[in-house]
Each structure stands twice: as structure tokens, then as C-alpha cells.
Amino acid sequence: MAVADASIGGDRSRLRVNPYFVLVAPLLVLLLFLYVWPMAQVFWISISDPEFGLQNYEKLISNRGILKMLHTTFEVCAITTALAMFFGYIVAYAMVHVSDRHRTWMLLFILVPFWVSVLARAFSWLMLLHDNGMVNDLLRAWGITDEPVQLVRNQLGVYIGMVHYMIPYAILPLYAGMRAIDPRCIAAARGLGAGPFEAFWRVFLPLSLPGLIGAGVLVFILTLGFFVTPAILGGGKTIMVAEYISVQILQTIRWGIGSMLAVTLLFIVLALLAVMSRAVDLRSMFGAK
């Protein structure tokens, strides 16, 4: 877009303020007041409550409970991201190759659940999958199992709920990336004697890699903030960083620790975005180009 292009443009545009900047300025001021200022306050609490210093940050290495919780968070997020990317890639790949009519239907089936509230989805999974839910009833009726299979209120339930939630976030950027791959490359590979799998493995997959990395980082960042899904589907035993922060803010009133974790989370996300920016063009990733 004009604004983005101009701001990274040649020397001439650096010399004077781009007139389009005026259009963006009110938003920047608004963000400064509503976002940067409160974030600064959160940061301040993290180094001043209960007393000034870095003792809250020291807990990141010394407090067993916090370490365990962070470990759980990263483990759950990494596995969720891997699964969501795997399934998302398959669907996106199919979407690129089916007819327009099928693609419309596929998009519909991806977007409709995407728009359903996270709470409604978590409770739906619970109703389907609990010990006497529909799935377990069917398994027993068909004689596949005698005892109920525990599908929710444990770690498995957390993965089911989170992967299901994240798949559309994986599909959409992957699909956009794959659309940009010139199908003639694959045709050329086939023409030069590559089998279908080799053409995919040596041509299509490498070409889709930037999209894969970009979507992966995006999905991972979003999973870091999960709260409701693990709380409902995890049977109370999967406590991730977002819920832990909420406990420290609302229940135990340890605002110093809560805001320290919030700040830490923010820096992790920024670091991930920095990594991502090396692999993909962030502006095209977020639709600014």
C-alpha cells in the first residue's frame, strides 16, 4: 500500500514527512494512550510490587511452580501448533487443488466454526466427549469398549479443543501462501521426470515453506494466550500462563508476579515475531502489502 511503500521508499521520502502519515497519526496517538501507556504501567508494577527491584523476574528461574507452569504452557503450545499445522497443511493443500465450487464449501466449513465463540466450542466438545457423552455411548453401543475412554478433562481434551480452535488460523495463511505458488513449477518438475511425491517434496513443499513458518509462528503466538479451552477441557489440571496470571491478579493479589509474567509473555511474542520476520515478509503476512 501507498503508506507502507512510501515509508520504506527512496531517500527523497525520508527527507520530509509523508502527508499520508497525518491520516495514521490519530490512530498512533490513540494506541499510545490506550496501549503503550497501560503496558508501561504493567511493566512498572512488575518491577515495583511489592518492592522495587527484579525479584519478581528472579522467580522465572527460582520458583518451581512457575517453571513447571511455563513448561506446561510451552509443551502444550508446541504440540498444539505442530498438530494444527499438520492438519491445516493438508486442508490448505486440498483447497488449492479442488474446483472452485468445492473450495467455497471447504471455506464455509472452515469459517463457520471459526466464528463460533471459544466458550461454546469448548462446552460442545465436553458434551460430545465426556465419559457418558455421545462418542463414548457409541463406542460402548458398538462394543468397541466396555469402560468409557477418557477423552476430556485431561491433557488430551486440551489438545482436542485447542487444535480444533487453531486449525483455521493455520489454514488461512497457508492457503494464501500456496495460492501464490506457480502450478507450472510442479508441472515442470513432473515433465522433467519427478514422481508425484518427489515433485511435492522437492518443489511444492520448499516453495510453501515461508508460509508454513509464518503460519506456525502465528499459531504458536495465539496458543500462548489460551485460557478458557484448557480451563474447561483440562479437568482443572492443565494451568497455562494466561490462567496463572489471572489467579495472581484476581485471587492471590500478587500483581508483581502476574505482571512480570505478562511482560515476559509479551517479550516472548515480540521475539517470535522477530524470528518470523527473518523467514517471511511480515507486511505481506499481515496483509499490508
Q: Distances from the Cα of 246 to the Cαs of 149, 165, 194, in angstroms?
A: 32, 21, 54
With respect to another protein, which residue has the nearer C-beta, 37 or 109?
Answer: 37
What is d(CA 207, CA 180) in angstroms, rounded to the nearest whole number?
9
With respect to another protein, which residue has the nearer C-beta, 18 or 63?
Answer: 63
CA angle, 133 then 227 then 150, to 5°: 25
> Mask 151-190, x = binds another protein (CB under 8 A)?
--x-x-----------------------------------
> Mask 66-95, x = binds another protein (CB under 8 A)?
--xx--x-----------------------
With respect to another protein, which residue has the nearer C-beta, 122 or 217?
Answer: 122
Where does this chain touch another protein (CB under 8 A) — which range of 45-53, 167-175, 178-186, 250-258?
250-258
Residue 219 cell numbers, joined = 499459531
Helix and strand numbers (H, E) in the chain are: 17, 0
244 lies in the binding site for another protein (CB under 8 A) = yes
> Mask 112-151, x = binds another protein (CB under 8 A)?
------------------xxxx------------------
Spatial CA neighbour of 171 closest among 212, 201, 121, 205? 212
What is d(CA 238, CA 232) in angstroms, rounded to the nearest whole number?
9
Q: Distances from the Cα of 81 to the Cαs of 91, 95, 117, 122, 169, in angstroms?
A: 15, 20, 20, 18, 10
How far apart are CB 253 and another protein at their closest, in Å?
A: 5
Binding site for another protein (CB under 8 A): 64-65, 68-69, 72, 130-133, 153, 155, 231-232, 234-239, 244, 247, 249-255
